[in-house]
Structure 1
Amino acid sequence: MPISPNQGSTGGGTVVTITGVNLGGATAVFFGTEPAIITANTPTSVTVVSPSGAGAVEVTVTTAGGTSNPLSFFYVEAPFKSGLSASSGPTAGGNTIAISGIGFATASSVGFGSASAVPTVVSDGLIDVVVPAAGSAGTVGLTVTTAGGSNNGFSYTYVDSPTVSAVTPTSGSTSGGTVVTLTGTNLATTQSVTISGTLAPFTVVNGAEMSIVTPAGTVGAADVDVTTTGGTATLAGGYTYVAAPGI
């Protein structure tokens, strides 16, 4: 006589179906000593709503013919989240974040606002999830759902991709050290700036402007890359290294 699912929230409310034979006219279903609410019944199945409980209990079905053999049902506590490896990312999604906490062994979904994703369970205390895309930038609630219920309380912020429109001045010495103003959009969460692949020190002025100090480079045009929480923008050949004069 199978039972599905065989686990649910300690608060009760799990819809459980018990299948077998001679189950028609069921008068009672007990989870341990607690009665469940019968919502449907046929000769081969009984559907009930589980009562509240804790731990492992025996489930039995009673009909006019007697009481069935017991099946095990396991009560699961609601999950608890304690940390996120990243609380923001690009609106396009696709980045993987880790969520730590307790009670994640039965995690079935992670909600990002109205969107959701199926997590990878690493352990009872850790799950990984690929963030789904969002229609627009903004902060949404993050919810983890397990057999024990749902837990929210954390938020996740979607960030638009950056753009880079110009650098001023557009050229400087190959020895570096030139202070350059970079303009664009969505620059507030900048994590790194590189010129021809070399990291450059930077200071964010606002979401549309930052100041950078050029690293040393080689003669010629160099790409300027800005990486933010929302992604990476490239201004191809945006800065030109010029050789020092000689006489």
Structure 2
Amino acid sequence: MQRLAQRLRCVRNAMPVSPDQGTTAGGTTVTITGTNLGGATAVSFGSKSATSITNVSPTQLTAISPSGTGTVAVTVTTSGGTSNPEPFFYTGPPLVVSVSPDAGQFSGGNTVTITGLNLATASAVDFGPNAGTITGVSDSEITVTVPTASGVGTVPITVVTAGGSADGISYSYFANPTITALDPASGPSSGGTAVTITGTELSSTEQVVIGSNAIQAGGPSAPFTVVSDTEIAAVAPPNAAGAADVIVKTPGGSFSLPGGYTYLTGPGV
């Protein structure tokens, strides 16, 4: 009679399972909390037994999940009987396909979107050694705030989910560009002057702006070409006469040189 009462108490009491999800390959460490768990002889995940049972006490134990799929019932068996079932969800391994944008400034703080499969349980996104901040998640997308970089360069992105971890995509950190000089620093307002822009961190330049006009790389009328990390060859576009700001834009940010180029009015007779 006493044993029957003990069994009923075990069956009726809630038995939280934490975490309640894990990889289909098994190997997830699960903590089960309840009552009358001392002397547990088996922990079952559906039709399979846990691969290990440790830290057994009257109120808690630790089990290692076997491999499995779908949703299964977790039960604990003691000499007093078998507990109530609690669900455990097997999650497939994640797959990451892309990250957009795939580059940004050294200081981080911008938001990127990672696309893939089986991402709904994402618990961490690491950019090299640094952890990003997850701001949104679905089965096919994660939005993440990029952390500050440990250094300029490209780092791997690792996504950790209940189903395991995935990598294979990367993110590039760039330092802010600077402009130190233009040669020549003036030309006719009709444009067409070949100008050498010198500075630092220019190798990833995406756009050059002189005055009110943006110059695109390889553009037909006023193009620019990145020569090196410290030099850009550009063709000044037409602009109204007067001092014009010069701006370079890169994934690492923008730099503006106020009045860096002067447009001159041609002579008249």
TM-score range, shorter chain: over 0.9
1:113 aligns with 2:128: yes
Larger helix proportion of the pair: 2
2:89 alignment partner in structure 1: 74
1:225 aligns with 2:211: no
Query: Is contact 1:23-1:41 (8 Å) kept?
Result: yes
Query: Is contact 1:136-1:160 (8 Å) kept?
Result: no
Give the drift of 1:155: 2.0
Amino acid at match of 2:90: Y
Helix, strand or coil at the partner of 2:206? strand
Give the drift of 1:227: 0.7
2:44 alignment partner in structure 1: 30
1:234 to 231, 256, 267: 256
Amino acid at match of 2:17: I
- Give the % identical residues: 54
| CA–CA distance in structure 2, aligned partners of residues 174 and 94 of structure 1 | 39
Query: Is contact 2:179-2:256 (8 Å) kept?
Result: yes
Amino acid at match of 2:238: A
| CA–CA distance in structure 1, aligned partners of residues 145 and 119 of structure 2 | 16
Give the drift of 1:121: 3.3
1:243 aligns with 2:243: no
| CA–CA distance in structure 1, aligned partners of residues 207 and 126 of structure 2 | 29
Query: Is contact 2:133-2:147 (8 Å) kept?
Result: no
Give the drift of 1:39: 2.0
Give the drift of 1:209: 1.0
Give the drift of 1:219: 2.6
Query: Is contact 2:245-2:257 (8 Å) kept?
Result: yes
Query: Is contact 1:107-1:121 (8 Å) kept?
Result: no
The answer to which of 9-18 and 104-113 deviates more is 9-18
Matches within 5 A, 1:1-247: 1-36=15-50, 37-200=52-215, 201-247=223-269
| CA–CA distance in structure 2, aligned partners of residues 10 and 121 of structure 1 | 24
Amino acid at match of 2:228: N
Q: Provide TM-score, normalisation by structure 2.
A: 0.87
The answer to which of 50-59 and 81-90 deviates more is 81-90
Amino acid at match of 1:213: V
Give the drift of 1:178: 1.7
Query: Is contact 2:96-2:115 (8 Å) kept?
Result: yes
Give the drift of 1:122: 4.2
Query: Is contact 1:119-1:128 (8 Å) kept?
Result: yes
Q: Say how many residue pairs are matched.
A: 247
Give the drift of 1:86: 2.6
Moved over 3 A (4+): none
Amino acid at match of 2:29: V
- Structure with larger Rg: 2
Give the drift of 1:149: 0.8
Larger strand proportion of the pair: 1
Give the drift of 1:32: 1.1
Which runs of 5 or more structure 1 residues have no equivalent in the other structure?
none
